[in-house]
Structures are given as structure tokens and as C-alpha cells.
Structure 1
């Protein structure tokens, strides 16, 4: 089968053996896979001396085979892959043995994947294959950060720096379903416009003076993923006693901030990453019940691997990128 792999430090498309379903597993013939920033970082983490690893965390497709003991899915089922491996019950942090699909396990940038049937959920009927195939990692990350950790509630004002990320597009929709007011930032006027169309109440320029722009707002919750470039600016607009949840760092990982100011302000700081199967199912139910959609910016053929990676690295997309398989 055709697959996109990292092999001895090089990205390439090559033929790989077709997978077979062992006990407890299912084979999924993938229709679409989603590209994430995580995929950009794996070449640095995997090393230059290892054999082919199929990349990709997100995907959706049709079950074509099931192994012994599988009862939750059957041949012909349309499914979404949960990329949070072996984290089933909601807990304060991931359990021992947790990994994200796509390293060290083979991922979704292939025509087929064999995976534990416990990682599969039924695709909501209203979603297209493109929408379903890109949602797993970003949807789950956004749900846990906003709802489990952030405890968003009706009437809250939620501030989200970086409106164009895949996670942000789910954050906007989930926050609106919770009855919150949503404010986002972007340097791009086009991305600001898309965020407003998706449901955001306000969109401001990332390069503007946030304290001045938001002088009339009371920000209850900040969802941060950018890092050093925005962390202190986000803290400056958060109300005293407010909550800030950090799930990523697309700029530098380390941040300096004023501890005295922080504890006098009684701020609450939470870390978050991915989520449990309980949360994955709750997020899917929310999407199905309210017929929410993924924001898909562009789709690529698998042979356009390098072009897709370059496009993601440029950061011009609003929402998610997909591979058609």
C-alpha cells in the first residue's frame, strides 16, 4: 500500500506492507487523514538512523477487517480514529503507557491502518470524509483545554490568541455551544473574518495593544498555545482570579513571568494535552448533536507530501489540512 513515511531522516512516499488485524484490532481503509503541527516536529524527534515510520495522527475511513474478540465495530462501519492511545478514562493527567498515534506507532498517512478497535468511534453522519479525517487530535485537545481544564460556562468571556489553528476552530464552536462570548486574535484580516463567520464575537489584530482593545471586556478564561510571544500579553488581559489553560507552544517553550503579580492576582494556570476516550466521545457527541463542522482549509494528495508540509509550516491556513487517500 502507498504510505507517507519518515525513513532515515527523509520524508517520502513509498510502498509499505498492508496491515493485518490481530486480536483486538481492526483494519481501517482510510479515506482522509489530517496533518498536524506535531507531524512537522517528528523528523527532529525520530532521528536519522531509523527505518520507515508512517506518519499521521488523524484519520477516518471504513473498517475492512476485524481481529478476534472485536465487538465494538464491524466490517463496513465508517469510523474516526482516536489518536490518544491507551487513555480511556478521564483523569487529571495521561496514564502510564499513553502515546499519540504516529510515533512510535505507525500512523494514518497510508491507504490502510491496523489499530486497536478501542481507538475507533463511529463517524457522525453529517460529516464529510474531509471533516471527519482531520478532527481527532485538534477536537480532543480543544475539548479538554476548554471544558475539562478551563471549565467554561455560560456567560464566560473566552480569549483565544491565534484564530487560525485547527484547535482554535473547535474552541470557538465549543465555547459558543457553552454560551460563552469568544474573542480571538490573528495578524490576518482574512483569518479574523473566518473566525467571526465560525461564531467568534470579536476578532482583533494580534499586533494590536490587547489591553487597550479589550479595555471594556472581562476575560474569564484564556486558552493559550503560542508561548513566549503571547503568554504575558494574555495574562495582562485576564481578570483577577481568572483561568489560563496552556496546551501548546508554537513559539519558544520557556516563558518568564512576574510571580508576585501572578499570586497577587490569584490567577489559575493549567496545563493540558490531548485527552481521554471519555472526552473524545463527549466531543463527538457535541459535534453530532449540534451538527458542528471541521474547518478544512485545503486538501492534498499523498504524493504532495512536501508541498503539504511546507504549506503548514508557512502557517497561512485557517483550520485543518487533509490528505485524500
Structure 2
């Protein structure tokens, strides 16, 4: 197969607002190095990580909710998920669905033509369990907001599914994040799981994956999105932020809170956890700074777990669930690559329920 030397790519030039993303129509196409594959991108999902990395929200100098806009102050030392600087220009986008069109040295050429989705966590092949040696696709290396992308061969996961490319591009980040959270919290069929922000990508994945484990799921979402959340299988749906959460729950006994929202409402979530309950977190879109009463934490024997870098097996499990039809995509909208700025604006404004996907 003859491959072009140049490609179309949306390139992030630095931390800041939406104007930092610049479309290039003649960006050099990458070549796969040893142990890597070249993927022709058919679709690439959009996630909070893309927005937060561009804006620099991960910096501890930022205390506001995620806005997707430029912040007044972003520290040069810790502007990314890993607390370290990244190199610009950078092509973002972690959730690729596409086909392998070339391979580097040491990679089986039989993989060419294979349809794949990407595992975003880039692990050291010699020390894959070491979280300190882990990077993220579209952050520590170029990702999928382009016509072509390279990644480690082990991060291109073969998939066999009748779902469309856009539908498959909704799974990688959101669903692996959600599965990682539920795994850290040891969720089983004995649990009742409360999911704030259930209409978002990770929130919707939490609903489906907690139900897959047999748990009872109580979802929280704005009233306009209740019908969409109901289709994901939630057992009970509450408004986004009930004035009296305990009263809204009634007789429900919440044993797990799976949260990516945080913000000023956060103490209400902790207050409704049963004794011995678990709180698991992988985001703070409503704000990272919360009011925390240590007495609630220790007097109720609560367990808190943060979840970011996940085990490699999690992504393989997600693929198995997709192929078995045990989970379904929540595709909200697709945008052409040229409209990535508009897609991010819609994502930030939460105009859609579920995941947004970009098509090169």
C-alpha cells in the first residue's frame, strides 16, 4: 500500500483556549518505529483528558471547574495528568478506531489490515506495572486527531464487531476509566452504586459496567437527560443535584459512590454513604477543591480510592464486553476533524448525552 507523506491533523500548539488547536493539511505523517504500528484513523473519541490537557487544568495552580478555556495561571511544572510538562506542538486524541496499515521492526506484518481500538495507557514494555513509567496517548505522544497515528503494537487492540467506527471510538477512554474505578472499589452484585454526572461519557459507562457486575445503580443527571440515562440501564434516576440527597434516595442504601464530578456538591455524596462504604474518583469536572469532613470519613469506616493508571487487562476486558454485546456505545454526535474546536465547545457545554467522536 502506498501511503502519503503528509496528512491532515489538528495540532495543539500550547496550553490555553480553543484557539490553541490549529488545523494543518500538510503535517508529516508519522512512521512506526520498532515495536509500533501505524493506524489509519477512522474515528477518534473526545474526552475530558483532551480538554484538560490543552487548558492546563491539571495544574495545581488551577482551582476552578473545567471550562475548556484558558486559565489565568497555569504552572509550567504540573500542567498535565502526570504532573509534568508535555511537548508542543502535540496531536491529541486517545480513542482511535481504525486499521493498521504499516508496522515497525519486530511487529508481525500479518497485523496489517486488522481493525483495532487503542489502549491509551503507554506502559514501559520492560516494566509494564510501574505507574511512574506510564504515559498517555495524545499527551506524552501524538494521538488520533489526525488521519494517521502510531502507537505501540500492544496498545492497538484487535476488535471484531458490527459496530461502526464512530461507535467503537466511544469506548476506550470512558469505559476503561469506568471499569478501572469499579475495579478499585471492588464493586459486586451486593452493592448499590451512586453515579453523579451519569449523562457524560464516563458516567454512562459507569452505569452500564456497574449493571454488568450485577450492582443496583442510582444515576444523577439533569432532568432533560433522564430518558437517555434510562436507556443505559439505571435502576433509579435522580436530578443532577437534589437539595436533600438523603430524602431523594429514600430507603436506598448507597455502598459505593463512583464520581467524576466533585465540586461544591461533593460533601452531600459522602454524607449518604453507608458505614463501610467506598468512594472512587477519576475526575472533578465541577471543581477539584471540596469540603471534606474527616469525621465522616473515619467514623463511618469509609474507603477512598483514586483511579487513573489502570491495569492492561482492563482494556482487554472492555473489548470482550463489546464483542459479547454486554455493553453498548453511547454515541452522542460526530464532527469532522476540521470542526474539532466546535466539538470541544459542545462537549464542554454538555450539549450532548454521551460521547462525541471526530472523523478525520
Q: TM-score, normalised by structure 1?
A: 0.93
Give unpaired runs (5+ residues) of structure 1. Answer: none
Match of 1:27 in 2: 38
Give unpaired runs (5+ residues) of structure 2. Answer: 1-6, 57-75, 80-85
Alignment of 1:206-217 (within 5 A): 206-208=240-242, 209-217=244-252
Q: Report the count of equivalent residues.
A: 321
SS state of the match for residue 133, structure 2? coil
Q: Distance in 2 between matches of 1:301 and 1:227?
A: 31
Match of 1:282 among 317, 333, 337: 317
Q: Distance in 1 between matches of 2:50 and 2:324?
A: 31
- Contact kept in structure 2, 1:123 and 1:132, CA below 8 Å: no
Q: Which runs of 4+ in 1 moved over 3 A?
A: 44-47, 87-91
Match of 1:5 among 6, 11, 19: 11
Match of 2:61 in 1: none
Q: Residues 87 and 228 of structure 1: is their aligned pair in 2 closer, same or farther, counting only changes over 3 Å?
A: farther
- Contact kept in structure 2, 1:32 and 1:134, CA below 8 Å: no
| Shift in Å, 1:251 | 2.0
- Match status 1:78 vs 2:115: yes
Q: TM-score, normalised by structure 2?
A: 0.84
- Contact kept in structure 2, 1:12 and 1:305, CA below 8 Å: no
Q: Residues 250 and 153 of structure 1: is their aligned pair in 2 closer, same or farther, counting only changes over 3 Å?
A: same
| Shift in Å, 1:8 | 5.0
Alpha carbon RMSD of aligned pairs, Å? 2.2
Match of 2:53 in 1: 42
SS state of the match for residue 284, structure 2? coil
Q: Distance in 2 between matches of 1:150 and 1:105?
A: 30
- Contact kept in structure 1, 2:36 and 2:103, CA below 8 Å: yes
| Shift in Å, 1:261 | 2.3
- Match status 1:267 vs 2:302: yes
SS state of the match for residue 159, structure 1? strand
Match of 1:236 among 271, 274, 278: 271
For residues 100-148 of structure 1, give each alpha carbon's deviation from its aligned partner in whole angstroms, at most 9, with x where no partner exists: 11113111100001111011101231322111112211111000101x2
- Contact kept in structure 1, 2:331 and 2:357, CA below 8 Å: yes
Q: Distance in 1 between matches of 2:215 and 2:55?
A: 39
Match of 1:126 in 2: 162
Q: Distance in 1 between matches of 2:14 and 2:43?
A: 26
Match of 2:148 among 112, 115, 119: 112
Alignment of 1:59-78 (within 5 A): 59-71=96-108, 74-78=111-115
